[in-house]
Amino acid sequence: MNVLFLCTGNSCRSILGEATFNHLAPDGWRAMSAGSRPTGTVHPRSLALLQREGISTEGLHSKSWDGLPVTPDVVITVCASAAGETCPAYLGPVLRTHWGVEDPAHVTGTDEVVDAAFVTAYRILRARIEALFALPLDTLADDRGRLQQAMDRIGTEIS
C-alpha cells in the first residue's frame, strides 16, 4: 500500500508524515510525500526534529507530485484548511483523506515557540499514524470503504 502525504510546499508537514510513517510502517506499507508547489528544500527544523526522534532523514527532499515514483493508493492531505490554506487536489483513482495540521513553517517568535510548533505538528502526525497502524490493516486493505472511514475518523478525532 503506497501512501502519499501531500501539502503545498513539501517542506515540513508532509515530510514529517513521510518519514514518521516509514519509520513505523509494517511490511507492505510505504509512504512518500510531495507538494503541489514544492519549496525545493526541506525545512531544517523538520530534519533536526526527525533526527532527535531517531527517524532517518536519508533521501528526504522537497518534490513535486508530478514526478512520483509510484502511483499512490492513498493520499493524505495535511494542509490546515482552518487556517485558510487551500489543499491541493490530487487527481486519480485513489483513496483520499484529510489530516489537517497547522504549518509550523509559518509560526513566528522565539526559537522555543517555533520549535514547539514543529513538535506539535510531529506529535499530531505520529499519533494519527500510530492510530492507523493499530487498525486491522490486513482486513482494511481489502475494504477501501472501511479504510476510508477509519482514516477520515483518525483525521478528525486525533489531535
pLDDT tens readout for residues 114-124: 999 999 999 99
- Here the cell at position 60 is 528526504
Residue 11 C-beta-side C-alpha neighbours within 13 Å: 15
Report CA Rg, the chain. 15
Q: Do the Cβ atoms of 18 and 33 come closer than 8 Å?
A: yes
pLDDT tens readout for residues 92-142: 778 989 999 999 999 999 999 999 999 999 999 999 999 999 999 888 888
**Is residue 1 exposed (0-12), middle (13-18) or buried (19+ Cβ within 10 Å)?**
middle
Residue 60 confidence (pLDDT) above 60: yes
- Helix intervals (H) in the chain: 13-24, 44-52, 111-133, 137-140, 144-157
Question: Which residues are annotated as catalytic?
Answer: 7, 79, 87
Q: Which helix (H) or strand (E) covers residue 30, if one does? A: strand 30-35
Q: How far is it, in rounded angstroms, from Cα 138 to Cα 19?
A: 22
pLDDT at residue 83, as a whole number: 45
Residue 91 confidence (pLDDT) above 70: no
Amino acid letter for position 1: M
DSSP 3-state of 5:
strand
